[in-house]
Each structure stands twice: as structure tokens, then as C-alpha cells.
A and B are shown apart, each in its own frame.
Chain A
Amino acid sequence: MENEMLEQNKQEKPVSLLTKALLTGFVGGVLWSMLGALAAYFNFTSVSPASFILRSWLQTGWSDSWLGQLISIFVIGVISVLLAIVYYGLFRKMKSIWPSAIFGVGLWFIVYFLLQPIFPNVPQMAELSMDTVVTTICLFLLYGIFVGYSISYDYLDSVTKKNV
């Protein structure tokens, strides 16, 4: 078949797919935690990226300033790379946008419910204000879609070579 010569029919190497997923994970973590920091600045949420990354261990003055937020955002980006690997390993074959949305919301439950005891600076779920809960759930949901949907789209795209 002459078609195999065409660029569109060349198989993309799985390595590059994984690299893409890692990059998506990092950018996603940085982007949405930046929005989280902005939301915290405008008091939409009482929990900022710094409050569970840094302030659980460091109660110094700078950890609540912009520098603390910046470092936390970067750390979340790195953690997000790990999450992207998990998503790539487990759910990359999911087709629609919904599994990734559930992934995001599930992640929220893990962070705010299961892992809450690790972060002394994050109040218990029942004590969070309505605004905080809604804002953080929405951010996690969008983060989930951003990372999850991108990974599964890239995977399906490389398999089928057309939009699905």
C-alpha cells in the first residue's frame, strides 16, 4: 500500500505519547493551581496551593506570600506529572470526557477527605465553607478534564488516526 508512506499513517512511538502525557500533567498542574492561587487571592477559597503544600510544615512568614505560592505551584506541577503517569497507565483507553471529569472530582475527595489528616493546615471537610468547596471542586474537575481528556485523546488519536 502506498498509503503507508503517508505521514498520517505512521505509527507514533509510545515514548512520545508518554512524554506528551508528562508535559500535559506538568502544565495542567501549574495552570490550574495558578488559578487556585488567584481564587485564594480573591478569597473564593480559604485553601490556597501553599496551604497544603508548604504551610502544613512551614509556618514561616514567607510561605504565605507570593513566593510560597510560586514554590507550591511548581511542586504541584511535579506532583501532577506523577498523576498523569497514573492516568496514562490506568485510564488512557477511556473514550469520552466524563471519566476524566470523574477522575478530577475523585482526586478532590482523596485530597480533602482521605489525605486531609496529612495537611494540618487544611480544615476538615465539614468545616470548609460553601465557597471553598465549590471553587476547589470546580478547579479539580477542570484539572481532571485537562489532564485526563488530553491523555486519552492523544492515545485514541494515535491509534485511530482520526478524530474520535
Chain B
Amino acid sequence: MKNKKNQSPISPKIKINENYMKEKIGVGTSFDVGFRDVTILKKTAHLYYLTGLCDSSIIVELLKKLVEINDNESNLRKVAEIVENRLVHQQVTRVKTMDEAVDQLLSGLIVLFIDGEDEAFVVDVRSYPGRSPQEPDTEKVVRGARDGYTENIIQNTALTRRRVRDERLRHEIVQVGERSKTDICISYIKDIADEGLVKKIKDEINKIDIDGLSMADKTIEEYLVKQGFNPFPLVRYTERPDVSANHLFEGHVLIMVDTSPSMIITPTTYFHHVQHAEEYRQAPVIGTFIRWVRFLGIFASVFLLPFWLLLVLEPSLLPKDLTFIGPNETGNIPIVIQIIMADIGIEFLRMAAIHTPTPLSTAMGLIAAVLIGQIAIDVGLFSAEVILYVAISAIGSFATPSYELSVANKISRILLLIITSIFGVPGFVIGSTLYILLLAMTRSLNTPYLWPFIPFNIKAIVHILIRVSVPMTKNRPSIVHPKNNYKQP
């Protein structure tokens, strides 16, 4: 696609350029493309800009300087040089083709054509609408930095650079999307990150051939990891600059996409999704405690309900000490149907909570808790124990730091429930084995997904089970194949 584009050069006759602009980008039709005509040293000059993406005060300043040329200069033969000199801005470049000029104009830069010149001047006066850094909702910490990435890629690179002042940090930018021309930045530290990985990511991104990336990072992810029917998240997202700086130091490669505050961290394993910045803001022991409780929650969110269902279906499995488990009276509906209904009910609530305005969601919580929960038991629809275990496993999913992982685990749980209710013990055992086996076979950018559990790596698993203090972590994780293994030179 990119090669087929005909590269029309900038004509020395300004009328031809003007017609091109009228035809191609609809100057005069689209109201957001502006145009200003000035005369400099008896030559016509045309200035194009995009209202809304430019900083007007700078443009006015530049125009003032340009008009002053007529008062101060007289050399009619060197108009281009004089104009370039008088464009008092640090980012001025010359372009030779109309396509380049149009691309730049539509990104919010201003383009200046001068009659008789086959080059145009492009000045970067961009100022994009957007918010300032805020704490991301999904990754809150009690103490520590409260800034988060925004939708502006320039701000995002700046937030990273604030934490990594290394001269070897690279921010490589590419444009993807035939129509959207979205900027994508690949960040890595040159002497740590694996060259093969950087190259692979660049190749995959360059291969993307699509109109536009309206869903930004998610679209890139789908091209990058080729997920298929696998529900598990194959990349980790973060909106925290400190988390991404930490991963850069470990040798990961980050991908930021303009218009999205979520950075993609690659390569990722299952265990990247069960960690949270909060653990690193607390004492190592506390961090370890938080982490173990969280692991318990995640484990419960997958296995608790199917296991309990199994014990209800076959009470003979229970050892002597645990015979109290299981409902005292069998309800009117099979337990598995009750569990799935209650689980779907929680899913209703969760989905509704995402797009319900806050004032209404309080009422929603009340209805859910009091009416549905209590009355469903009173009516005889659900047994009380079902509500208890469904609630525990739901809270377990909420305790999963990665939203994507919690949803994938929920799907696994429902499948396990169904297979357990049909086949009993063999169903549960084979289902759980398949869960581990399929995860172990999954690969994200050639990285085994269950590393460091399967394949086993003792050092790395200790770092996952125990939050080791920073002075004690001397090596980078081997899974990223760092060029330089020592964190403390």
C-alpha cells in the first residue's frame, strides 16, 4: 500500500499547490483546515493550519515576524533563506513533497508555501487537547507517585523519560494506519533489551496494514500476539509510569500508542498479571503477605466453586473432619444451575456498574444485595451456601490486579463447573489439568506463558512467591534475555 502512493512534488508555482490543497484536503470545504495568504518581499506565501490542534499565539508571533521581513529585508533573491531565518521556532523543517506536507498539516503542524520555491516549511506548533496526568483508576497505590499516562504520546514519553534519564533509552516512533496515521512508540533501553525481541516487534508493527486504529493499543495487541480463541491476556497493560520504568530496567520492551493511556509491556507471562505496584510500595514482608492473599483470591476465583460443587455432588469424597460442608437441604434447583445463575447475576451487576452513573449505582448495589441475595434464599431459589461461595469467588476475581485475567479466569471457572457437573471427579481433575496444560502451551511473543512455574526456574519463582527487597535483586529476569544481566553494576 505504502509504495503505491504517488509522491507528488511541491510545485514552484504556488497556484498549483493551492489547487492541490483545495482538491485533496478540501481547504474551504472542511472548516477545520485554515488558510492565510501573506506577501513577503513581493512574493505570495500561503500558510495552512489546522484549527484546534495548533497554538494560535505562536502562529500570530510567527506571522508578525514574517510580515516584518518586508520592513527589514530587501534581498529579493534569497526569500527562502530569509523566511527560514525569521521563522523563530526551534522545530522548523523543510519538506519536498505534497504528501509529507499534508501529513504534517493534519497532525497539527503549520505549513508555509512560498511562490517560486519547490520546498515548503513545516513548523511544529502542535498543542493537542487532552487532560493532565492523573492517578489511574485501576492501579491505585496508598503511597507513591500519583501521575499516570494520558492520551498524549508526547506527554507519555516525557513521563517515562522523567524516570529513565539514561542516554541509552530509545523511543522509536512509527506511523501505522493508512487513514488514521497513528503514532506508535517502541521504548526500550538499548543495552539491556533483547535485540531479537525489538526487531520482532518492529517487524510485526510494520506489517500492519489497516485503515485506522481507533481502539489504539488493543488493535496493536491483536496484531502482535495473534491471540485466536485464547481468552488469557497475552500482554500486560499499565498506566503507571513507575511500573513501566521498572519494566524497562528489567529489559522489557514497551509499546505506547497515541490516543491511549495504556502502555503495552512485552514479553508477558501469567505471573505478570498477578502482581501490583502496591506490593512494591510496602515493606517486603507486607508485600509478600499481600501477594499471598491475592494468590489465594485468584486461586479461589478459579477452583473454589467447581471443587465445592464436586463435594456437594459426591459427599462421599469428604474426609471425616469436613463432613459439615455441603447444603443441609437440597433446594428445588440443581446446585450447578444455582451457581451458574448466581455467577451470571454477578456478571450482570459488574457489567451494569461499568456504565451506570455513580448516583444510580448505589441504588443498584442495594437492589442486588438486599432484594436478589436475601429474597432469592427466602423464596427457595438459591441455597445460602451457594451465595457464600459464589461471593467468595467473585471477590477473588475482583482481587485479581489484571482485569483481563480475571475475566479469562471467570470463563475457565464456568467451563470447569460444567465439566465437573457432568463427569464428577474425572471431569474436575481432567478440567484442571487442561487448564494448566493449555496455559503451559500458550506462548506470548515466543515466551512460555507459565514461566517460571512451567518451565521451572527456581530463582524467578522465589521472586514471585516472595516480594524480595530491591537491594537483594541483583539479576534481571532471564525470560527477557537481557543483554546485561546485572542490575547493580
Contact = CB atoms under 8 A, between A and B. Distances in A.
B486 interface: yes
B14 to A, nearest CB: 53
Interface stretch (B92-100, B156-164, B476-484): B476-484
A133 to B, nearest CB: 9
A contact patch SS: helix
B196 A42 contact: no
B225 to A, nearest CB: 14
Contacts of A142: 433, 436-437
A135 B194 contact: no
Interface stretch (A53-61, A74-82, A115-123, A147-155): A147-155
B446 A163 contact: yes
A28 B317 contact: no
B: contact size bracket: 35 or more
A164 B429 contact: no
A28, A97, A164 — which one has the most chain B CB atoms within 10 A of its CB?
A97
Interface in A40-63: 41-44
Contact of A138 (B430, B446, B484, B485): B430
A130 interface: yes
Nearest to B432: A138
Given A6-B483, A97-B440, A149 B319 contact: no
A145 B440 contact: yes
A13 interface: no
Interface string A121-164: 00000000011001100100110011001100110010001111
A6 B484 CA distance: 6
Contact of A27 (B316, B318, B456): B456
A30 B222 CA distance: 39
A164 B433 contact: no
A97 B454 CA distance: 10
B45 interface: no
A75 to B, nearest CB: 20
B448 A7 contact: no
Contact of A162 (B194, B311, B455, B485): B194
Interface string A4-48: 001110000000000010011001100000000001011110000
Interface in B124-165: none
B458 interface: yes
B447 interface: yes
B425 interface: yes
A10 B455 CA distance: 21
B233 to A, nearest CB: 18
Contacts of A157: 478
Contact of A134 (B426, B441, B478): B426
Given A131-B425, A162-B446, A44 B317 contact: yes
A130 B314 CA distance: 14
B440 A149 contact: yes
Contact of B482 (A8, A130, A149, A150): A8
Contacts of B194: 8, 162
Interface residues of A, number: 33
B481 A162 contact: yes
Interface string B312-338: 000011110000000000000000000
Given A7-B483, A134-B429, A135-B429, A42 B456 contact: no
Nearest to B444: A163
Contacts of B483: 6-8
Given A42-B319, A130-B426, A162-B446, A8 B433 contact: no
A24 B456 contact: yes
A154 B311 CA distance: 39
Nearest to B196: A162
Contacts of B440: 97, 145, 149
A4 to B, nearest CB: 12
A142 B440 CA distance: 10
Interface in B429-461: 429-430, 432-433, 436-437, 440-441, 443, 445-448, 454-458
B426 A164 contact: no
Nearest to B486: A7
A27, A39, A134 — which one has the most chain B CB atoms within 10 A of its CB?
A134
B436 to A, nearest CB: 6
A164 B485 contact: no
Contacts of B424: 131
A144 to B, nearest CB: 11
A37 to B, nearest CB: 12
A7 B458 contact: no
Given A7-B485, A131-B424, 8 more contacts: A145-B437, A145-B454, A149-B440, A150-B455, A153-B455, A154-B455, A162-B446, A162-B481
13 contacts: A20-B458, A27-B456, A27-B458, A28-B456, A39-B429, A43-B319, A44-B425, A131-B425, A134-B429, A135-B425, A138-B433, A146-B454, A163-B443
Interface of A: 6-8, 20, 23-24, 27-28, 39, 41-44, 97, 101, 130-131, 134-135, 138, 141-142, 145-146, 149-150, 153-154, 157, 161-164
| Top 9 A-B residue pairs of the complex, sorted by shortest distance between their CB atoms | A153-B455, A163-B446, A7-B485, A150-B455, A150-B456, A138-B433, A134-B426, A131-B425, A43-B317
Interface of B: 194, 196, 267, 311, 316-319, 424-426, 429-430, 432-433, 436-437, 440-441, 443, 445-448, 454-458, 478-479, 481-486
